Chains A and B, each alone.
Chain A
């Protein structure tokens, strides 16, 4: 569905070098700290910036030679940009209808009704939650096959986040060939939603894993630093010092449970996992 092969983009003080793939029928997450390169990656995919090198492949063809029809099959949400605040939702309906022949006005209006989005109020007067829901509704209601969502739940309360997550699940259930690439700071959202995810740090992809495997096989081992030498370190990915000793990240939880029964082995939450991946040291 989407493939990035060595996409490079340099700015003063930052450079991106990113490769990733989004398969049909999958929701892929992109996580990373602020300034890690998530938005730059999304902008490169959407043609908003010109990469210095590398290749983007969308729907099996080069990103540089997408047809209008191809672009109609992409729905996008950007964290810091949307429809002009001077438009109303009724205006947005007219505009989407003109841009997308497959725009489903009924479904869009129904979604607005269910999410209490007013039709005649200027968007600039919307709450953060309303704006976010409107962006997602616009992206999922014009027959897109691929959604590119940059922080669709940023700044939202738990209820609004759940509503957006439900919208995206509904979008995926309608057609098993659809895909989503989504970034979020809220790891719980990604944990619930994504089939796999990439981690980006300082412009480079540092990790890729299926969510199921992450939640089942990855774990933290709590121990003292001195005890490290007694452990098989071939499955230790990161180590981070803690006040009581140190914490190790492994991708072979069962192996350490079976072979080191006296060790404290705990499942990794997504937040803790991100923290140790980005802040921990490699052995």
Chain B
């Protein structure tokens, strides 16, 4: 798997020109006091960069040769998730430093609890994107996969929108008060468990698809 990770890092290196733009955007969000979005944006970018390497692998029928190299198919899936998480970790570190520096300069540092919650939310976003995009990109390829991924996320958004509209206001208010009173429980059951479930489903689905795939 080391070879796969090195390959992906080399491929990402060819995208190094986009990094300053990415950092400038994060800085802009910090200056605009949109701290939570800095983390969410970073989580999204980490997942999208990792999934972007699938397109590079597929480009010009590259999959055929790639899969003659000595690795197990499941390692390919694992390497993509690991790359996503590694990029997230690097991005989270950069975002924390940026937010911490901005807090020092402005004199209103972000509370550690808020930062942790933001990082968890960003990780949930990252895991969700990885878990949907990796299996769909492997199954349908970059072009068709893009449409399928869009459809899946549109479906999820519609589901959330419908839930918010259909559930009585007392329910959402109750949920808010509960989360205020039981912060740790909410983090565990509201974020950690869904993240773990989403990753497991996405990972298992990706392995099933890659094992069936012919090149």
Chain B: which residue is nearest A39 at the CB level?
A: B64
Given contacts A76-B65, A84-B11, A85-B60, contact A99 B214 (CB under 8 A): no
Interface string of B188-215 (1 = CB under 8 A from A): 0000000000000000000000000011
A86, B64: Cβ atoms closer than 8 Å: no
A81, B64: Cβ atoms closer than 8 Å: yes
B10, A87: Cβ atoms closer than 8 Å: yes
- Say yes or no for A262: interface residue by CB 8 A criterion: no
Interface string of B3-21 (1 = CB under 8 A from A): 1001100110110000000
Chain A stretch 84-130: residues in CB contact (< 8 A) with chain B: 84-88, 91, 94-96, 98-100, 122, 124
Shortest distance between the CB of A71 and any CB in chain B (Å): 4
Give the bracket for the number of chain A residues in contact with chain B: 20 to 34
- Say yes or no for B153: interface residue by CB 8 A criterion: no
Stretch in B43-51, B67-75, B170-178, B179-187 touching the partner: B67-75
Chain A hits for B66, CB < 8 A: 81, 84
B68, A98: Cβ atoms closer than 8 Å: no
Chain B stretch 67-93: residues in CB contact (< 8 A) with chain A: 67-72
B11, A46: Cβ atoms closer than 8 Å: no
Chain B hits for A46, CB < 8 A: 67-68
- Say yes or no for A43: interface residue by CB 8 A criterion: yes
Q: Is the interface of B mostly helix, strand, loop or mixed?
A: helix
Shortest distance between the CB of A7 and any CB in chain B (Å): 14
Chain B hits for A98, CB < 8 A: 2-3, 6
- Say yes or no for A231: interface residue by CB 8 A criterion: no
Shortest distance between the CB of A91 and any CB in chain B (Å): 4
Shortest distance between the CB of A52 and any CB in chain B (Å): 12
A43, B56: Cβ atoms closer than 8 Å: no
Q: Contact check: which of A68, A74, A87 meets B7 at CB < 8 Å?
A: A87
- Say yes or no for B155: interface residue by CB 8 A criterion: no
Shortest distance between the CB of A227 and any CB in chain B (Å): 51
A71, B65: Cβ atoms closer than 8 Å: no
Given contacts A84-B59, A85-B59, A86-B56, contact A48 B6 (CB under 8 A): no
Chain A hits for B62, CB < 8 A: 81-85
Task: Count B interface residues, CB 8 Å.
Answer: 26
Given contacts A81-B60, A86-B14, A86-B56, contact A95 B65 (CB under 8 A): no
A99, B10: Cβ atoms closer than 8 Å: no
The answer for the CA separation of A100 and B69 in the assembled complex, in Å, is: 9
Given contacts A87-B11, A91-B10, A98-B6, contact A80 B61 (CB under 8 A): yes
A95, B3: Cβ atoms closer than 8 Å: yes
A71, B64: Cβ atoms closer than 8 Å: no
A83, B14: Cβ atoms closer than 8 Å: no
B70, A100: Cβ atoms closer than 8 Å: yes
- Say yes or no for A49: interface residue by CB 8 A criterion: yes
The answer for the CA separation of A46 and B11 in the assembled complex, in Å, is: 25
Chain B hits for A48, CB < 8 A: 64, 67-68, 214-215
- Say yes or no for A50: interface residue by CB 8 A criterion: yes
Chain B: which residue is nearest A48 at the CB level?
A: B215
30 residue pairs bridging A and B, Cβ less than 8 Å apart: A43-B64, A43-B214, A46-B68, A47-B68, A48-B64, A48-B214, A49-B215, A68-B71, A76-B65, A78-B65, A81-B61, A81-B64, A81-B65, A84-B7, A84-B56, A84-B57, A84-B59, A85-B59, A85-B60, A87-B10, A94-B6, A95-B6, A95-B7, A95-B10, A96-B3, A98-B2, A98-B3, A98-B6, A99-B3, A99-B70
Q: Which positions in B face A, CB cutoff 8 Å?
A: 2-3, 6-7, 10-11, 13-14, 56-57, 59-72, 214-215
